[in-house]
């Protein structure tokens, strides 16, 4: 058994390759232009102001044309288009996937049973199915809607939604009963009870999700939008109220000739709009929605479907992770780790007996004994003729073999010891001590005996997946507490918890215990994330802030959670948390960058506007930009280009490394705060060096 996910590279890029392929930009361009429609753009107040400014300057440029005015007009429009482009590119990445999904959905027919056990059915369109309908699906057919298998067992190809080509087993009852509309039955025949409303199937929701249709703004996005709107208003007021001051300044310096930036009517409209657009937080305003869409998309790339953006954001805030022991922290099953012989028996003899007793044992534990005997003691599998295999039953609680007159058994200590005593054997006290010792260490002891003689004890152990301890250490540094959930007794649970390095554990956990634990954590103000697949997990999934249901799980579990992992890999919860954090960090970093940029823009534009009336203000022109026109144009061009330059970052997300809040902040402040102040000085200067050669720039 291996741990498939941990060995997979963290970021599964695939489709994401070539983040800013020029082709993507070109494809997205028509959508970007469509988004200029003010009726939709007003939702983004920052870019709406840019558009109004662009329209206003266009009118001015038509009335009093000059090369400078038209150059500014073009770049103002480009600013708005670049912003739309960012959003369109982000959306475009989901659209391709949606198209594939749609193909799986269209035109499916359903065979609806007339009554519970009837063999008769009506053939209807899949879209007519209602919850509670029973449909029959046979090999080669597409399952017409989401539901639970109520009769039969089948292998199902779910590659249409998971991308995983290996078929999965779906059967009635238990935790593997859920089937998804649009997947194909490969063998056998099943009866499915439909659980979805028409048009609300899993695939429908998935399509809506990846397309970003009716995307709801998350609370944090709303809050950030409010701050950006407030900053926009501040700068709107600052630029508008500057005008009477500018008029006055020109008035009291009558000898100064009019310039393209300043005349008797104050700062010219083109320059005033340029200043405004440069000051309002266009960078983050342009990229904000792209960041959100891309965050959801990163989850989709990892085969996780979040039912709401809110859940993704909550993932970043999670402070307690509930992890099921089996399959998440440990490999699925216990494995033999040691053969402990009693006094007078050689290790080799015990190993040979243990192996012999397990050769026909198909349970994972049994196989692990054979593997351990081979790896550790070089015992090869043998083909035995005339062996009489004794299989495990719930009554005997042991298994083994009768061969060549020998009777070998292995099993639970009490059962095997009773069997030995039955044959007149007198097990030494030592056996009891060995058994207790292994139990105390969290392992499971299996006693091996040959009729009236105990040979020794096999130590079965939960094997913690590789790399888990490091993962949990990382979590701790991020301020996240990990709690292991297990049905084991407290002793066993503690031993595994210690080995894996989780912060806490919940032993002998019932679904009610789990729910109670979540409530307790939430009362303390913590956000809880968990994974689950069974129907009895549903209440806990619904209660947790981030509930990730396994795709292999029941529909009840999938309905209750707010995310579904198509790979059914519980370890992925950790990645989900990281994606949530990355989303917020990207927003914060680009907001900081955007505001920090303004400093340089002031140094470009204020001297350009007023150095004519107050020559002393030329001292502020520390970039030594060549002329007022070129300075203003350079600032506007920089402001537009920086949006394009940052689209890849917005789509990819700021690099996230688990660290304490303090260290993360320092690093991001250094890169995006300080970088945001310095970068535009260099950028504007370089653009100025180029645009100064254009006509009308002096």
Partner 1 sequence: MSATAAGALFVASLVIAVALLHRPLGDHLYRVYTSARHNAAERGLYRLLAVRADTEQSWPVYARGLLAFSVISVLAVYGLQRLQDRLPLSAGMPPVTGHIAWNTAVSFVTNTNWQSYSGESTMGHLTQMAALAVQNFVSAAVGMAVAIALVRGFARSRSGAIGNFWVDLVRGTVRVLLPMAFIGALVLVAGGVIQNLSGTHEVGTLTGGTQAITGGPVASQEVIKLLGTNGGGFYNANSAHPFENPATWTNWFELLLILAIPFALPRTFGRMVGQVRQGHAILAVMGVLALASVLLTNAFELGGHATVPRAVGAAMEGKEVRFGVSDSATFGAVTTLTSTGAVNSFHDSYTPFGGMMTMANMMLGEIAPGGVGAGLYGMLVLAVITVFVAGLMVGRTPEYLGKKIGPRQIKLASLYFLTTPALVLIGTAFAMGSPERRASMLNSGPHGLSEILYAFTSAANNNGSAFAGLTVNTPWYDVALGLCMVFGRFLPIILVLALAGSLARQSPVPEGAGTLPTHRPQFVGLVVGVTVVLVALTFLPALALGPIAEGLS
Minimum distance of partner 1 from residue 697's CB (angstroms): 23
Is 67 labelled a binding residue?
no
**Residue with Cβ nearer partner 1 (29 or 671):** 671
Question: Is 533 known as a binding-site position?
Answer: yes
Closest approach, Cβ 280 to partner 1, in A, equals: 11
Q: Does 394 carry a binding-site annotation?
A: yes
- Is 430 annotated among the ligand-binding residues? no
Q: Do residues 56 and 273 touch, judged by C-beta distance below 8 A? A: yes
Report 598-637 residues binding partner 1 (CB under 8 A): 598-599, 602, 606, 610, 613-617, 619-620
Hey, which residues between 234 and 273 contact partner 1 (CB under 8 A)?
Answer: 234-235, 237-249, 252
Of 143, 207, 463, 595, the one binding partner 1 (CB under 8 A) is 595
Exposure string over 74-108, b if 16+ CB within 10 A, otherwise e: bbbbbbbbbbbbbbbbbbbbbbebbeebeebbeeb
> Which residues, numbered 471-490, are part of the site for partner 1 (CB under 8 A)?
476-481
Minimum distance, C-beta of residue 296 to partner 1, in the bound complex (Å): 16
Among 9, 255, 378, 524, binds partner 1 (CB under 8 A): 524
**Interatomic CA distance for residues 451 and 434, integer angstroms:** 19
- The residues that bridge with 266 in the sheet, in sequence order, are 263
Q: Please pick, from the candidates 99, 233, 423, 689, the single residue that binds partner 1 as defined by CB under 8 A.
A: 233
- Options 580, 628, 680, 683; binder of partner 1; rule CB under 8 A: 580
Q: Out of 313, 533, 545, 559, which residue is the one contacting partner 1 (CB under 8 A)?
A: 313
584 part of the interface to partner 1, by CB under 8 A: yes
Strand order in the sheet with 304-306: 304-306, 563-565, 546-550, 528-532, 320-324, 481-485, 504-506
Q: Is 410 annotated as a binding residue?
A: yes
Strands 546-550 and 563-565: parallel
User: CA 358, CA 379: separation in Å to the nearest integer?
Assistant: 12
Q: How far is the CB of 580 from partner 1 (least distance, A)?
A: 7
Interior CA angle at 71 toward 68 and 73, to 5°?
A: 110
* Interface positions, 192-221, toward partner 1 (CB under 8 A): 219-220
> Which of 330, 591, 621, 629 is in the footprint of partner 1 by CB under 8 A?
591
Among positions 423, 661, 682, 686, the unique one binding partner 1 when judged by CB under 8 A = 661
| Contact assessment for residue 681 and residue 600, using Cβ atoms and an 8 Å cutoff | yes
Q: Which of 13, 489, 510, 666 lies at the binding interface for partner 1 (CB under 8 A)?
A: 666
Under the criterion CB under 8 A, does residue 587 sit at the interface with partner 1? yes
With beta carbons less than 8 A apart as the criterion, state whether 525 and 542 touch: no
Shortest CB 51 distance to partner 1, Å: 22
Q: Which is nearer to partner 1, 302 or 587 (CB)?
A: 587
Measure the CA angle with vertex 246, ends 241 and 248; round to 5°.
110
Give the list of residues 6+ apart from residue 456 with CB closer than 8 angstroms, or none. Answer: 339, 340, 341, 342, 345, 347, 350, 354, 434, 447, 448
589 binds partner 1 (CB under 8 A): yes
The reply, when asked if residue 492 is annotated as ligand binding, is no
Nearest residue (CB) to partner 1, 530 versus 595: 595
Tokens of 446: 């299996």
Count residues binding partner 1 (CB under 8 A).
77
The answer to whether the annotation marks 572 as part of a ligand binding site is no
Cβ proximity to partner 1, 16 vs 247, nearer residue:
247
Q: Which stretch binds partner 1 (CB under 8 A): 97-105, 315-323, 388-396, 484-492?
A: 315-323
Name the residue nearer to partner 1 (CB basis): 327 or 501.
501
Closest to partner 1 by CB, 136 or 659? 659
Name the residue with tokens 């709009």: 273
Q: Which stretch binds partner 1 (CB under 8 A): 159-167, 382-390, 482-490, 595-603?
A: 595-603
Separation between Cα atoms, residue 41 and residue 120, nearest integer Å: 54
DSSP state string for 516-579: HHHHHHHHTT--EEEEE-SGGGHHHHHHSSEEEEETTS-HHHHHHSSEEETT--TTHHHHHHHH
Min dist CB 89 to partner 1, Å, is 23
Residues 316-335 that bind partner 1 (CB under 8 A): 316-317, 319
User: In Å, how far from its chain's centre is CA 604?
Assistant: 42
Does residue 304 interact with partner 1 by CB under 8 A?
no
**Burial readout 212-244 (b: 16 or more C-beta within 10 A, e: otherwise):** beebebbebbeebbeebbebbeebeeebeebee
Stretch that binds partner 1, among 379-387, 423-431, 520-528, 641-649 (CB under 8 A): 520-528
Residue labelled with tokens 């249901």: 549
Are 152 and 189 in contact by the 8 Å Cβ rule? The answer is: yes
Catalytic residues: 324
Residues in contact with 321: Cβ distance below 8 Å, sequence separation at least 6, in sequence order? 475, 480, 481, 482, 483, 528, 529, 530, 573, 574, 577
Q: Which listed range, 190-198, 365-373, 496-504, 576-584, lies at the site for partner 1 (CB under 8 A)?
A: 576-584
Q: Is 189 annotated as a binding residue?
A: no
What the block records as the tokens of 62 is 């038509």
Nearer to partner 1 (CB atom), residue 213 or residue 227: 227
Report d(CA 312, CA 652) in Å as an integer: 16
Least CB distance from residue 565 to partner 1, whole Å?
21
Residues 341-360 that bind partner 1 (CB under 8 A): none
Residue 235 annotated as binding? no
CA 40 to centroid of chain Cα atoms: 29
End-to-end CA distance of the chain: 73
Of residues 238 and 689, the one with the C-beta less far from partner 1: 238
**Closer to partner 1 at the Cβ: 187 or 253?**
253
Q: How far is the CB of 71 from partner 1 (least distance, A)?
A: 23
| Binding-site sequence positions | 361, 365, 392-399, 410, 533, 537
| Binding-site sequence positions for ATP | 361, 365, 392-399, 410
């Amino acid at each position: 058994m291996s741990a498939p996910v941990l060995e997979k590279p963290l970021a599964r890029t695939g489709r994401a390759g070539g983040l800013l392929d020029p082709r993507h930009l070109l494809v997205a361009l028509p959508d970007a232009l469509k988004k200029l429609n003010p009726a939709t753009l007003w939702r983004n107040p920052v870019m709406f102001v840019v558009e109004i400014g662009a329209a206003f300057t266009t009118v001015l440029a038509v009335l009093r044309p000059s090369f400078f005015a038209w150059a500014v007009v073009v770049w103002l429009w480009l600013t708005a288009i670049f912003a739309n482009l960012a959003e369109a590119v982000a959306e475009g990445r989901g659209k391709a996937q949606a198209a594939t999904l749609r193909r799986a959905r269209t035109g499916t027919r359903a065979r609806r049973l007339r009554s519970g056990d009837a063999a008769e059915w009506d053939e209807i369109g899949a879209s007519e199915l209602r919850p509670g309908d029973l449909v029959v699906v046979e090999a080669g057919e597409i399952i017409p809607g989401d539901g639970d298998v109520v009769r039969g067992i089948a292998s199902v190809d779910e590659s249409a939604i998971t991308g995983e080509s290996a078929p999965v087993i779906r059967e009635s009852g238990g935790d593997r009963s859920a089937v998804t509309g649009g997947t194909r039955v490969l063998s056998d025949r099943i009866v499915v009870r439909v659980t979805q409303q028409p048009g609300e199937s899993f695939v429908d929701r998935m399509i809506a999700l990846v397309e970003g249709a009716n995307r709801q703004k998350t609370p944090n996005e709303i809050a950030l939008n409010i701050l950006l709107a407030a900053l926009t208003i501040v700068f709107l007021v600052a630029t508008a109220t500057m005008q009477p001051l500018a008029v006055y300044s020109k008035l009291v310096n009558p000898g100064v000739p009019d310039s393209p930036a300043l005349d008797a009517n104050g700062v010219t409209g083109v320059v005033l709009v340029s200043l405004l657009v440069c000051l309002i937080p266009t960078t983050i305003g342009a990229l904000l929605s792209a960041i959100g869409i891309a965050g959801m998309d990163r989850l989709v790339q990892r085969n996780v479907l979040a039912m709401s953006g809110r859940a993704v954001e909550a993932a970043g805030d999670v402070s307690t992770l509930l992890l099921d022991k089996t399959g998440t922290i440990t490999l699925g099953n216990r494995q033999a780790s040691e053969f402990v012989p009693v006094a007078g028996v050689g290790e080799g003899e015990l190993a040979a007996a243990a192996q012999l007793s397990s050769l026909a044992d198909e349970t994972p534990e049994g196989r692990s004994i054979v593997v351990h005997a081979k790896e550790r003691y070089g015992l090869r599998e043998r083909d035995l003729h005339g062996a009489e295999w004794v299989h495990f039953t719930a009554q005997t609680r042991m298994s083994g073999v009768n061969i060549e007159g020998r009777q070998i058994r292995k099993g639970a200590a009490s059962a095997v010891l009773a069997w030995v005593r039955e044959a007149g054997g007198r097990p030494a006290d030592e056996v009891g001590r060995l058994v207790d010792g292994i139990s105390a260490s969290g392992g499971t002891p299996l006693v091996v005996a040959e009729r009236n003689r105990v040979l020794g004890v096999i130590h079965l152990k939960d094997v913690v997946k590789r790399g888990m301890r490091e993962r949990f250490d990382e979590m701790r540094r991020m301020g996240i507490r990990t709690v292991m959930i297990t049905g084991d007794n407290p002793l066993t649970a503690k031993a595994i918890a210690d080995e894996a390095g989780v912060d806490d554990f919940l032993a002998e956990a019932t679904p009610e215990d789990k729910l109670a634990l979540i409530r307790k954590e939430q009362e303390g103000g913590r956000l809880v994330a968990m994974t689950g697949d069974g129907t009895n997990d549903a209440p806990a999934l619904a209660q947790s802030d981030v509930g990730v249901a396994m795709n292999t799980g029941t529909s009840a579990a999938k309905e209750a959670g707010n995310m579904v992992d198509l790979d059914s890999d519980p370890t992925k919860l950790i990645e989900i948390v990281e994606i949530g954090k990355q989303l917020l960090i990207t927003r914060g970093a680009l907001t900081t960058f955007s505001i920090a940029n303004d400093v340089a823009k002031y140094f470009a534009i204020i001297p350009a506007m007023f150095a004519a009336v107050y020559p002393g203000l030329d001292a502020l022109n520390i970039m030594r930009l060549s002329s007022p026109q070129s300075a203003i144009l350079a600032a506007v061009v920089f402001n537009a280009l920086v949006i394009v330059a940052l689209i890849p970052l917005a789509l990819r997300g700021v690099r996230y490394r688990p660290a304490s809040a303090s260290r993360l902040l320092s690093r991001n402040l250094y890169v995006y705060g300080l970088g945001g102040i310095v970068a535009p000085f260099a950028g504007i200067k370089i653009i100025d060096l180029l645009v100064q050669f254009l006509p009308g720039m002096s």
